[in-house]
Amino acid sequence: MREEKTPLQNSISKLSRYLVAIFLAASSLILVVGYVDKLPWLEIFLLAVAAAVSAIPEGLPAMVTLVLAIGMRAMARRNAIIRRLVAVETLGSATVICSDKTGTLTLNEMTVRRIYVDDRSLDVTGEGYQPQGEFWHGGQKISPSAQPSLALLLRIGVLCNDALLTREESCCDIMGDPTEGALVVAVAKAGMDKEKLEDKFPRLDEIPFQSEKQYMATLHPGDGGRVVYVKGAPERLLSLSKYVMRQDSVVPLDEAGVRDIMVAGVAMARDAMRIIAFAYADLPGELTELRDEDIRGNLVFVGIAGMIDPPREEAKAAVKLCRDAGIRVVMITGDHKITAEAIGRQLELAPGKTVTGAELQEMSDGELSGQIDDITIFARIEPLQKLRIVEALKSHGQVVAMTGDGVNDAPALKTADIGIAMGITGTDVAKEAADMVLADDNFASVVAAVEEGRAIFNRLRNVLLFSISTSIGELLALIVALLVVGKAPLLAVQIIWVNLVTGTMVAAPLGLEPKLGDELKQPPRSPKTGLIFSGFVLRNLYLAALMGFGAFLIFAWLEPRVSLDEARTITFCAIVVFEWFLTINCRTDEQTVFKLGFFKNRWLLISILAAAVLQAAAVYLPFLQIAFRTVPIGPGDWGLIILTGGIIFLIEEARKALFPKLFSRGKW
């Protein structure tokens, strides 16, 4: 199967075709001019070769590779591991980020705060994973062991559970899912021991948690039979329950009982708590294999627990940065609708509707597409529903970044423009399907990656601008001099030196240019806008004209006054110096270097100094003089070169100050 080219590869291919066309046109023009001027065929051939060398920026592939490598390393330092090149290119175009809530927008450090059992709400104290806390009701401390329904709820929570509480020097930590870990800690606060309970009620079988089922069930020995313990979404367990436990007795679950439980759950959800329900059922003693049918309609509902998972502070700031950058954040969660909305308010998500998985299931693709731009939160969502969300957003021309961690998230990650897998909690399948992996599972790292992606794209444009404008500038100086003076201002070997040595040396540090700081204040780049745009082409021609005509004027003025070798040497040095000035110009297209700072990119200054040493060697060392056919030049000649280059430099900086948006057409 042939691999599809990335937008960057398409842009480079398109640019290559343009450069080949320029090379062919320039070579043809030189052949015609040489024939008309009756130049020797060998000289005409050498000039055509020189034109080819001028038109093609030989160091460009190496510089593009360098920029991408440096950019990916910067992303890695900010916990974004790039798996596919397309992610670097697409990040700058992202218009929507669909993010999981738990662990990405929140800390994923659950703490049980409230329990509803026996038609009353109990408060649980304590912080984090430390098993110190108390149970309170109506201002009175209570003992869980003296409350049969509460003790049963806690026993269900710890036995229908795969997490472990580990004790270390700094106290405690959780091995396993944070939601289950919070239940283990709550049980420890009640003075109950998970290991002793597991010895007394060993697990005989289980139904693992699945997002589609929204519950987990485990089978244990009971009094003369079997008992199944179940935990999951309250609405799901209520639909499977026939009875409810109240004050150590089991009574039928009626509409009023369901309403009371739902009201308690809504109260927890409004306080941004994740809600989990608990139930059980007595089963025959001969049962050895647990099936869904065994619990359907047979459950005794015990109660619900509310646990808090506070938003990340850095996520709040990242959401604001997204808003400034023109990127919409859509939160996708398996939590209750009201809980999701409460977290959304704390994160200051953009106003919008909330749609649940059940509501999404009832929508047709057309209905979802018609509403998708108004939806900010998706609650009680199953992983496979993420695919529909991505497709609906893309149908509106949105460039979608989607986070995910599970096996079932893989289709959505693959379909999204940028699939982002979690590095800590993500499965291997999710990581394989993703374009990028977050090492810290943090939403702020997604936004950091977008910022770095935009910066990388800007650096690529700067490198291209310098490489193309200087190449065309050399070609322009060569052709105009041939037409007007009848002699070439540079030899082929000198042009190769400029392109491969001094030019590439000062261009490479453009890939190390620090971020401007306004990357997230610009609008998302249209996916149809590549490296090359109309304003970029005009600026290339403008800078090439400044450099080319500047070099031509120096050569035309010197040629009748000094020897041809000296005129060429001075022109040779002038083009090199002009490139140094243009490198500084190319650091940005709108901000002047005086505002940006001369010394912000120290590697550029170091490379210019190194290039100056090499150029001086080419002019003054005898064996290099023979190779490049140069002659020593004096201080006055260098003064002329620097004065002309400085004028060109100031013209472009004045343009930025007076008309900063002159070449911005089509940029976004």
Task: Locate the DSSP E strands across 380-503.
Answer: 400-404, 418-422, 436-438
The mean per-residue pLDDT over the stretch 482-489 comes to 84
Beta bridge mates, 227: 220, 282
CA terminus-to-terminus distance, the chain: 33
| 526-557 pLDDT per residue, tens | 777 777 888 888 999 999 999 999 999 999 99
Q: Which of 327-341, 514-528, 587-601 has the lowest mean pLDDT?
A: 514-528
Name which of 114-123, 475-484, 493-502, 550-559 the model is least confident about: 493-502
Q: What percent of the chain has pLDDT over 70?
A: 95
Whether the predicted pLDDT of 338 surpasses 80: yes
330 token code pair: 């859509």
- Token look-up 């509902």 returns 301
Nearest alpha carbon to residue 452 among 70, 58, 30: 70
Evaluate whether 425 touches 102 at the Cβ level (below 8 Å): no
Distance in angstroms (rounded) separating the CA atoms of residues 202 and 220:
6
Separation of alpha carbons 100 and 111, rounded Å: 19
Mean pLDDT, the chain, rounded, equals: 87
pLDDT of residue 37: 67
Is 13's pLDDT higher than 80? no
pLDDT in tens, 57-112: 666 777 777 788 888 888 889 899 988 877 777 787 889 999 988 878 888 788 99
pLDDT of residue 16: 73
**For residue 432, what pLDDT is reported?**
92
Q: How many Cα atoms sit within 13 Å of 636 on the Cβ side?
A: 2
Rounded to the nearest 10°, the torsion over CA 156, 162, 166, 170 is -90
Confidence of residue 643 (pLDDT cuts 50, 70, 90): very high
> What domains can you pick out in the chain, each with its CATH number?
7-79+448-658 (1.20.1110.10), 96-106+312-441 (3.40.50.1000), 111-308 (3.40.1110.10)
Is the pTM above the cut of 0.75? yes
Cα distances from 128 to residues 112, 168, 178, 184, in angstroms, run: 9, 14, 11, 12
Band of pLDDT at residue 55, cut at 50, 70 and 90 = low
pLDDT of residue 141: 93
User: Quick check: is 100 catalytic?
Assistant: yes
Q: State yes or no: pLDDT of 121 exceeds 70.
A: yes
Residues 563-590 have a mean pLDDT of 93
Query: Which pLDDT band, with edges at 50, 70 and 90, does 306 fall under?
Result: very high
Average pLDDT on 224-253 reads: 92
pLDDT of residue 299: 94
- pLDDT at residue 39 greater than cutoff 70: no
Please report the pLDDT score of residue 646 as a whole number: 94
Distance CA 245, CA 222 (A): 17
pLDDT band at 230 (very low <50, low <70, confident <90, very high): very high
374 secondary structure, DSSP code:
G
Q: pLDDT tens digits for 447-461? A: 888 888 888 888 888
Q: What is the pLDDT of residue 554?
A: 96
When pLDDT is cut at 50, 70 and 90, the band that residue 54 belongs to is low
How far is Cα 587 from Cα 193, in angstroms, rounded to an integer?
Answer: 64
- For 353, the token pair is 């509707």
**Average pLDDT rounded to a whole number, residues 636-646:** 94
- pLDDT(295) > 60: yes
Q: From CA 290, how far away is CA 277, in angstroms rounded? A: 20
pLDDT band at 9 (very low <50, low <70, confident <90, very high): low
Q: In this structure, what are the phi and psi dihedrals at residue 28, rounded to the nearest 5 degrees?
A: -65, -40
pLDDT for 464: 86
Query: Average pLDDT, stretch 383-410?
Result: 90
The per-residue pLDDT for 2 is 47
For the cut 90, the answer to whether the pLDDT of residue 656 exceeds it is yes
Burial (CB count within 10 angstroms: exposed 0-12, middle 13-18, buried 19+), residue 146: exposed
pLDDT of residue 664: 86
Helix (H, G, I), strand (E, B) or coil at 538: helix
In this predicted structure, what is the pLDDT of residue 6? 58
Q: Tell how strand 375-379 and strand 328-332 pair up.
A: parallel
Mean pLDDT of 565-589: 94
User: For 239-263, what is the mean pLDDT?
Assistant: 92
- Once rounded to an integer, what is the mean pLDDT over residues 627-648? 94
Select which of 100, 118, 405, 435 is catalytic: 100
